[in-house]
Amino acid sequence: MNVKYTVTLLPEAVADLRRLEDFAIDRELASEAPDWATPQRALDAIGEGMRLLSWSPYTCRRAELGNGRSRELIVPFGSAGYIVLFEIVDDQVVVGAVRHQREEDFRH
């Protein structure tokens, strides 16, 4: 039986995505050879990675912190990547945060 999960982003996760996009734009502005497609490619990679959550969220690793239902989706991008933190509740996947792997508050 195939279970379809509904993926919902909490407002904090939406704010994270906006912050990550702003950071990527600022980084390109500061670059001597900016690649203006990079911020969109990063968001596309995160979105593509999150598609997995609608059909197979249990394949993602358990998060170190959390209540036992928390999991992490690793989204490779460039020399690092992103971590999507989420919980599975029945047939719902609730995304609570999105972080770059090199952020100071990222714990592995």
Structure tokens at 92: 């719902």
Tell me the H-state helices in 3-101.
Answer: 11-30, 38-51
Sign of CA pseudo-dihedral 95, 98, 104, 107: positive
Alpha carbons 27 and 80: distance in angstroms, whole number: 15
The reported pLDDT for the residue numbered 104 is: 66
CATH assignment of 6-100? Answer: 3.30.2310.20
81: left (phi over 0), alpha (psi -120 to 50) or beta: left
Alpha carbons 8 and 1: distance in angstroms, whole number: 22
The reported pLDDT for the residue numbered 66 is: 64
Domain boundaries, the chain: 6-100
Q: What is the full per-residue pLDDT of the chain (108 aa) written as tens digits?
A: 578 999 999 999 999 999 999 989 998 999 999 898 999 999 999 999 999 999 999 999 998 766 777 999 999 998 889 999 999 999 999 999 999 988 766 554
pTM of the model: 0.87
The reported pLDDT for the residue numbered 108 is: 45
* Residue 107: C-alpha distances to residues 7, 98, 102 (Å): 23, 12, 10
